[in-house]
Amino acid sequence: DAGITQSPRHKVTETGTPVTLRCHQTENHRYMYWYRQDPGHGLRLIHYSYGVKDTDKGEVSDGYSVSRSKTEDFLLTLESATSSQTSVYFCATRDTTYSNTGELFFGEGSRLTVL
């Protein structure tokens, strides 16, 4: 299993405060992703990265920013959290070294509650 660690695993915050979620991987995978999972919506892609300092938007990127200054770390920032951003956030990685059909490896999720 790819070593993917998300932190914090649980966070409660207030509307308007900034929040940063961290994803750390130990597998040197090139691609990293942030998803959110909400009842009735499945998994929705927020942002992804295809290398250090290379990122692109997903389908629900408004209100979120990301940064990737090192291969192993991918940060998701909510500049000013809103109640609609209450969700479970998953980080995922993908290896492209040996195969272009590679699956995603997921972290265990970060549950964010915005009051």
Partner 1 sequence: GNSVTQMEGPVTLSEEAFLTINCTYTATGYPSLFWYVQYPGEGLQLLLKATKADDKGSNKGFEATYRKETTSFHLEKGSVQVSDSAVYFCALRVPNAGKSTFGDGTTLTVKP
Binding site for partner 1 (CB under 8 A): 4, 31, 33, 40-43, 45, 48, 50, 56, 58, 90, 92, 100-101, 103-109
By beta-carbon proximity to partner 1, the closer residue of 17 and 44 is 44
For partner 1, the closer of residues 45 and 75 by Cβ is 45
Three-class SS of residue 83?
helix
Question: CA 18 to CA 43: how far, in whole Å?
Answer: 23
Interior angle at CA 20, CA 68 and CA 72, nearest 5: 30
- 17 vs 73, which CB is nearer to partner 1? 73
Q: Which residues contact 55 (CB under 8 A, 6 or more apart)?
A: 47, 48, 49, 66, 67, 68
Beta carbon of residue 83, minimum distance to partner 1 (angstroms, whole number): 23
Report, in Å, the least distance between residue 15 CB and partner 1.
26
User: How are beta strands 104-106 and 4-7 bridged, if at all?
Assistant: unpaired
Which residue number, 20 or 37, has a Cβ lying nearer to partner 1?
A: 37
Q: Given the DSSP bridges, would you call strands 10-13 and 110-114 parallel, antiparallel or unpaired?
A: parallel
Residue 97 CB, nearest approach to partner 1 (Å) = 15
CB of 110 to partner 1, least distance (A): 10
